[in-house]
């Protein structure tokens, strides 16, 4: 990986995520403050239209401030690769919290609804709209939810989705008018707000999952899945998820219909608060990647220094892949075996040390005969009965992790897994096993 070590005076500590347009890092400033830094990919940095949109994003975010919104700390829109730094929030996304712990209880759900709705109202009062409100763009902090990722926010008067043939947003959370007319205003955010609240209350995507065409069809033509909710909450969410944007209630009116949270109770359950505390503790231990040497040197090895995240353990490979695809509106390939998962075996001493150490990762390519990804123990392709070999290369990777890591934890190496049909690598998951010796 060609990750930089410093951007705009911020020392980079690792990757937080990546998308088609850019990479998000976690960094530490000269005063010790921790930030999230979004860096535009080189191919888009050379696109004048994209650079114009990025400059607009920064201006919109700078004028959109208030409770529930992350603050812009610094930005350089004229850099060779433009970047934007915001305050870093230690805590899981709503998407991860629900996958790990299930739907929110009524009190926590009401707190989420009120605080997230207030943040969204601030966005609309500033004359902008978010346009990609979804569970993965809601961070859960100790003090309340935080709305993130204004990478595709736009002013109210700028209604076209984007260039011809492109769409912006996430299938299943995009309003029907997005999908049918390619134009929308802040009422589309109301639809997404209702979908996010439905997901938080039920643990299910309101329009199901599957191939994006199926989810899109249900979003436009079928009612949401609100089974099991109280009549009062179900009625409110049905109104927010109305197919006709003009029938959706104003945000302030919708918030009045939500049960008031109990101020005497913590706004989140203990299990999620524990996750937030663990994330904050892990943050304190983060250090910049250091150079090290392989324990079993290969001929002329070139260690690749990468970054790790601790992620919820996938229940099963295929299920984990389907959940990730459903969040991102990606067509689900039922023949796929899920993400690339390999085992990281550590002695007790190594698990307590936190690294860094060298792990020899095996990077598998699609089958040369059928593009399948599954591989037998004999290193033959599962999809075509062994007629095509799945070539693999082993790459030494310098890794570090929170000291005291335990068996069953999953570590994430972004961009180190299988290649997709466009040649981009997915993520590699390392399942930790701590040896008894």
39-48 confidence digits (pLDDT tens): 888 888 888 8
Which residue matches tokens 């002013």?
Answer: 155
Smallest CA-to-CA distance from 152 within 271, 20, 251, 289 is with: 20
Q: Give 10's strand partners.
A: 7
Superfamily of domain 289-434 in CATH is: Urease metallochaperone UreE, N-terminal domain (2.60.260.20)
Query: Is there a contact between 38 and 49 (Cβ–Cβ < 8 Å)?
Result: no
Query: Is there a contact between 291 and 275 (Cβ–Cβ < 8 Å)?
Result: no
Beta strand 304-305 with 309-311: parallel, antiparallel or unpaired?
unpaired
What is the pLDDT, as a whole number, of residue 94?
93
Nearest-10 Cα torsion for 74, 15, 311, 171: 70
Phi, psi of 186 (to 5 degrees): -65, -15
What's the pLDDT tens digit per position in 102-156? 999 988 999 999 999 999 999 898 888 888 899 988 999 888 899 987 544 343 3
What average pLDDT does the segment 400-422 reach? 71
Q: Which tops the pLDDT comparison, 177 or 158?
A: 177
What is the pLDDT, as a whole number, of residue 225?
95
What average pLDDT does the segment 88-107 reach? 90
Q: Give 393's strand partners.
A: 363
What is the pLDDT, as a whole number, of residue 387?
55
Q: Which tops the pLDDT comparison, 399 or 5?
A: 5
Mean pLDDT is lowest, of 238-247, 252-261, 371-380, 400-409, for 371-380
* pLDDT at residue 406 tops 80: no
Give the SS3 label for residue 34.
strand
Per domain, the residue ranges of the chain are 6-87, 94-256, 289-434
What is the pLDDT, as a whole number, of residue 121?
92
Mean pLDDT is lowest, of 134-148, 155-169, 186-200, 387-401, for 155-169
What's the pLDDT tens digit per position in 8-39? 889 888 887 766 677 888 888 887 788 989 88
Q: Alpha-carbon distance 245 to 175, whole Å?
A: 8
What is the pLDDT, as a whole number, of residue 110?
93
| 336, 408, 417 from 392: Cα distances, Å | 17, 25, 11
What is the pLDDT, as a whole number, of residue 16?
79
Give every CB contact of residue 277 below 8 A, 6+ residues apart in sequence: none
Which residue in 2, 76, 78, 132 is the catalytic one? 132
Q: Which CATH number fits domain 6-87: 3.30.200.20, 3.40.50.720, 3.40.50.170, 3.40.50.1820?
A: 3.30.200.20
Q: What CATH topology corresponds to 94-256?
A: Transferase(Phosphotransferase); domain 1 (1.10.510)
Q: Alpha-carbon distance 151 to 380, whole Å?
A: 42
What average pLDDT does the segment 81-95 reach? 89
Give every CB contact of residue 383 below 8 A, 6+ residues apart in sequence: 335, 367, 370, 372, 373, 374
Q: At what angle do helices 186-202 and 106-125 cross, to 10 degrees?
A: 170
Query: Is there a contact between 230 and 273 (Cβ–Cβ < 8 Å)?
Result: no
Quote the pTM value.
0.63
Active-site residue, 158 included: no
What is the pLDDT, as a whole number, of residue 296?
34
On the question of a cis peptide bond just before residue 356, with omega within 30 degrees of 0, the verdict is yes
Q: State which H helix or E strand residue 128 sits in.
A: strand 128-129
Q: Alpha-carbon distance 147 to 95, whole Å?
A: 13
Same fold, 94-256 and 289-434: no
Q: Is 188 exposed, middle or buried (0-12, 13-18, 19+ CB in 10 A)?
A: buried
Q: Which tops the pLDDT comparison, 187 or 365?
A: 187
Round the average pLDDT of the chain to a whole number and report it.
76
What is the pLDDT, as a whole number, of residue 44?
81
* pLDDT at residue 404 tops 50: yes
Which residue matches tokens 């020899």?
Answer: 360
Most confident of 47-51, 160-164, 391-395: 47-51
Q: Give 183's strand partners.
A: 160
Could you tell me the pLDDT band of residue 294, with boundaries at 50, 70 and 90?
A: very low
Q: Alpha-carbon distance 403 to 354, whole Å?
A: 4
């Amino acid at each position: 990986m060609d990750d930089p070590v410093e951007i705009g005076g911020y020392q980079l500590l690792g990757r937080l995520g990546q998308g088609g347009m850019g990479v998000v890092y976690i960094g530490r400033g000269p005063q010790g403050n921790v930030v999230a830094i979004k860096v535009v990919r080189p191919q888009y940095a050379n696109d004048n239209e994209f650079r114009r949109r990025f400059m607009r994003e920064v201006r919109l975010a700078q004028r959109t401030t208030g409770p529930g919104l992350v603050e812009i700390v610094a930005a350089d829109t004229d850099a060779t690769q433009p970047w934007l730094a915001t305050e870093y929030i230690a805590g899981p996304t709503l998407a991860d919290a629900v996958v790990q712990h299930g739907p929110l209880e009524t009190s926590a759900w009401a707190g989420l609804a009120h605080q997230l709705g207030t943040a969204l109202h601030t966005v609309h009062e500033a004359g902008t709209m978010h346009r990609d409100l979804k569970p993965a763009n809601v961070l859960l902090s100790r003090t309340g939810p935080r709305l993130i990722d204004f990478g595709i926010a736009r002013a109210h008067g700028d209604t076209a989705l984007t260039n011809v043939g492109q769409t912006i947003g996430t299938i299943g959370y995009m309003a029907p008018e997005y999908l049918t007319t390619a134009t929308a205003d802040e009422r589309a955010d109301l639809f997404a707000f209702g979908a996010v609240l439905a997901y938080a209350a039920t643990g299910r995507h309101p329009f199901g999952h599957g191939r994006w065409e199926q989810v899109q069809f249900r979003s436009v033509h079928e009612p949401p899945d609100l089974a099991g909710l109280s009549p009062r909450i179900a009625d409110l969410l049905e109104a927010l998820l109305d197919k006709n944007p003009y029938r959706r209630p104003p945000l302030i009116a919708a918030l009045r219909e939500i049960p008031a949270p109990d101020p005497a109770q913590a706004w989140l359950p203990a299990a999620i608060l524990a996750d937030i505390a663990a994330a904050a503790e892990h943050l304190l231990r983060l250090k910049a990647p250091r150079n090290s040497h392989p324990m079993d040197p290969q001929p002329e090895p070139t260690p690749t220094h990468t970054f790790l995240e601790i992620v919820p353990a996938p229940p099963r490979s295929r299920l984990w892949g389907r959940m990730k695809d459903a969040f991102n509106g990606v067509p689900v390939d039922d023949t796929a075996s899920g993400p690339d998962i390999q085992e990281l075996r550590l002695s007790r001493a190594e698990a307590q040390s936190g690294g860094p150490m060298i792990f020899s990762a095996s990077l598998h390519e699609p089958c040369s005969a059928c593009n399948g990804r599954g591989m037998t123990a004999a290193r033959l392709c599962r999809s075509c009965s062994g007629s095509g070999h799945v070539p693999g290369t082993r790459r030494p990777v310098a890794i570090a992790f929170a000291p005291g890591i335990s068996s069953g934890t999953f570590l994430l190496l972004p961009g180190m897994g299988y290649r997709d049909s466009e040649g981009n690598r997915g993520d590699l998951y390392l399942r930790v096993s701590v040896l008894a010796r």
